[in-house]
A and B are shown apart, each in its own frame.
Chain A
């Protein structure tokens, strides 16, 4: 059929442009990142070495980096890192396990939306630093407080995004599902869930960012263990390089979390048009 062959060439053409575009920009992006980081590191090192700023305020980046194996040798790194990371992931899991069903329920049931979403938005907009004393009061000054602060950071950020995603589910798609005999459960499973996956990705990334801030706040206040204990110990002894080293690890952890979420999301939503096309 003539249309088919016409469409084929058009499709192939777009496909070719698409892959070339993607390939080149991917390379550019990697190059930019490498150069960017290298310039940052070199400038830092030069400024710290020659500017005369005391190393108490600005340690050399080489000193910061070499403090990481040093901490490991002292046997304080892995144990405390594990404490914090564990708390983060448990808190994240709690936030997701409560937040996600809540988001779907609020998004699809008008009554629940009316009743519950004000609380969700309130929780979303209160700065965690204000909630922290309350959390410490309720949970106690221990690991669970950290975990709780991460959970209440993740939960509303994820939920508000996903609940809006559920509300904007394409009406024609839902109509189609109903016409072809989908039960309410099937509509949920085959239309609402897949169409909210991009929203889950965004919500999760926002939730993680806020959760990481929550974790950090928790680390500053709870210092018996976790990386918070390293920071507390090091800052009292003016070991600025160590404080920076912990911060560096923290940033790396945050960035790799976001990258992993992004990668999973991209894999799950390959049906979407690549952005920019």
Chain B
């Protein structure tokens, strides 16, 4: 019985993969041969708070292309500039050199085309769940009947119905993160930027949330850049995995992950492909972590 079900899911996963292939080749036919997000030669410097003319080079000549509908996971040692990368892509921080283009147009500031999910949630504690989810639509002055329906829809999608009137302090970490996710989804962005969204939740919640993210992204077909500290998470969620070098960060290597979807850490742990992939990523990453420590 279970065997049959497993085979069934594997089959559907395969056909999903085929669809993906077709889609990306179709993209080429439609003249969309460029990537949706083009990050080109980024150099970002921060001024030190103390000490004049001293700079921290967070990113140096960082380039990355992300295809439409792709789920890219980003791994790298602490302080290598991953959050900086997302801040530049979202238009909050401007690079010293290089540029970011979305759909071929340079990014000049925040846009309703993308949204962010934060590690420390960034929820407004004085807003209830519903009002937090509604936040983006409210700021963009798009609160009509349809938007209200959308708010309810995404609250349901992340499994928070019944908690509409709860304040963030009344929620667990995982629930708060789901509010952050629903808030981002509610503006229906093409691109979802996620900065270590599950770093503050416990392991079991984390696995459940990973499943949920995969499911939601598969359903909504968004392009995702997902920063994480966890090698397993990066492999389980990503279509492609990018390892960032020690600071100043640049894209050290990108690894395509063609394990069948949907994936779960539990079932993959014994697969030899997964184990060898994991080893490879580990060695790439630990080299950088040691470099970062030594420097």
Contact = CB atoms under 8 A, between A and B. Distances in A.
Contacts of B135: 176-177, 180, 190
B148 interface: no
A45 B122 CA distance: 57
Contact of A180 (B87, B127, B187): B187
Contact of B118 (A172, A195, A273): A172
B139 A7 contact: no
A3 to B, nearest CB: 6
A203 B90 CA distance: 37
Contacts of A186: 139
Contacts of B136: 180-181
Given A7-B175, A179-B90, A173 B159 contact: no
A26 interface: no
The CB with the most chain B CB atoms within 10 A, among A8, A178, A181, A197, is that of A181
Interface string B124-144: 111100000001101110000
Contacts of A273: 169
A72 interface: no
Provide the main secondary structure of the chain B interface: loop
Contacts of B160: 4
B104 interface: no
A3 B208 contact: yes
Interface string A173-198: 10111111111001000110011010
A29 interface: no
Contact of A11 (B92, B115, B170): B170
A10 interface: yes
Nearest to B141: A181
Contacts of A173: 122-124
Given A11-B170, A271-B169, A180 B125 contact: no
Given A3-B208, A172-B118, A172-B120, A181 B126 contact: no
Contacts of A11: 166, 170-172
B159 A1 contact: yes
Interface string A252-277: 00000000000000000111110000
Given A172-B118, A191-B124, A177 B169 contact: no
A197 to B, nearest CB: 8
Contact of B205 (A3, A178, A197): A3
A187 to B, nearest CB: 9
Interface string B94-118: 0000000000000000111011101
Nearest to A274: B169
Contacts of A4: 159-160, 162
A180 B110 contact: yes
Given A3-B159, A190-B139, A180 B169 contact: no
A179 B159 CA distance: 24
A55 B112 CA distance: 76
B81 interface: no
Contacts of A270: 167
A190 B124 contact: yes
B77 interface: no
Given A7-B172, A180-B110, A180-B187, A175 B122 contact: yes
A44 B211 CA distance: 71
A177 B138 CA distance: 11
B118 A272 contact: no
Contact of B139 (A15, A177, A194): A177
B139 A3 contact: no
A172 B195 CA distance: 12
Given A7-B171, A7-B172, A11-B170, A181 B110 contact: yes
Contact of A172 (B122, B126, B172): B122
B64 to A, nearest CB: 20
B33 to A, nearest CB: 29
Interface in B182-219: 183, 187, 205, 208
Interface in A77-96: none
Contact of B110 (A179, A190, A191, A197): A179
A191 B114 CA distance: 21
Contacts of B249: none
A181 B118 contact: no
B251 to A, nearest CB: 23
9 contacts: A4-B160, A4-B162, A8-B162, A173-B124, A178-B110, A180-B110, A181-B139, A182-B139, A271-B168
Interface of B: 87, 90, 92, 110-112, 114-116, 118, 120-127, 135-136, 138-140, 159-160, 162, 166-172, 174-175, 183, 187, 205, 208
Q: What are the 6 tightest A-B residue pairs by CB atom distance, in nearest-first order?
A: A176-B122, A180-B136, A172-B122, A271-B126, A182-B139, A271-B167
Given A180-B139, A191-B124, 4 more contacts: A4-B160, A11-B166, A11-B172, A181-B111
